[in-house]
């Protein structure tokens, strides 16, 4: 089979959040890493006297814990300050991302309503001079793939 020419990197990905599931805010300029996108399905297994292999059954999909690495900034319109109140109030938010940037025909992965379950307040050491970063953990039942039109 011929080698694929459709491979992608995440260099132009777009990450957005929403508080209502329809109006999204682009935070690609402050986020630099999306992780935890794997989802597990519960499964069971048992053995019988007959046969040599397990009987396997499938259960429900487990929730996902997505992680977003975000640059700490203090402007009120920036992602950090926009999302902090939602963590502190325990209010639901939505996230979605598009590896190709969210233009027409691009695929997009949208979370269900979920909660920021871990939100870092600024931390760091004196020496390296690196930008303050933080990793948000967002728990959601699932993400749904769609195409952008």
Our CB check for another protein shows the closer of 54 and 147 to be: 147
Shortest distance in whole angstroms from residue 75 CB to another protein: 25
Instruction: Report the distance separating Cα 63 and Cα 42, nearest Å.
Output: 10
Q: Is 6 in the site for another protein (CB under 8 A)?
A: no
Residue 118 main-chain phi, psi, to 5 deg: -150, 125
Answer whether 122's CB lies under 8 Å from 134's CB: yes
Options 104, 121, 127, 129; binder of another protein; rule CB under 8 A: 104
Nearest residue to 119 (alpha-carbon basis) of 93, 142, 91, 86 = 86
Q: Is 23 in the site for another protein (CB under 8 A)?
A: yes
Q: Is 145 in the site for another protein (CB under 8 A)?
A: yes
Shortest distance in whole angstroms from residue 92 CB to another protein: 18
For another protein (CB under 8 A), the number of binding residues is: 12
* Sequence-distant (≥ 6) Cβ neighbours of residue 131 within 8 angstroms: 71, 72
Q: Is 111 in the site for another protein (CB under 8 A)?
A: no
Instruction: Report the distance separating Cα 56 and Cα 11, nearest Å.
Output: 39
Q: Is 113 in the site for another protein (CB under 8 A)?
A: no
Binding window for another protein (CB under 8 A); candidates: 36-44, 51-59, 64-72, 105-113: 105-113
Options 31, 110, 116, 140; binder of another protein; rule CB under 8 A: 110
Q: Residue 104 corresponds to which tokens in the numbers above?
A: 């027409």
Task: For the beta carbon of residue 29, count every other beta carbon within 10 angstroms.
Answer: 11
Residue ranges binding another protein (CB under 8 A): 22-23, 104-105, 108, 110, 144-149
């Amino acid at each position: 089979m011929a080698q694929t020419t459709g491979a992608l990197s995440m260099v132009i990905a777009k990450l957005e959040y929403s508080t209502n599931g329809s109006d999204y805010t682009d935070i690609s300029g402050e986020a630099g890493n999306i992780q935890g996108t794997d989802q597990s399905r519960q499964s069971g297994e048992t053995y019988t006297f007959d046969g040599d292999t397990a009987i396997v059954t499938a259960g429900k999909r487990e929730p996902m814990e997505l992680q977003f690495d975000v640059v700490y900034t203090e402007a009120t319109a920036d992602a950090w300050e926009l999302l902090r109140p939602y963590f502190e109030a325990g209010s639901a938010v939505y996230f979605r991302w598009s590896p190709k940037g969210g233009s027409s025909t691009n695929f997009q992965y949208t979370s269900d309503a979920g909660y920021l379950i871990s939100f870092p307040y600024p931390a760091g050491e004196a020496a390296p001079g690196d930008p303050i970063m933080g990793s948000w953990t967002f728990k959601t039942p699932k993400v749904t793939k769609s195409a952008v039109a």
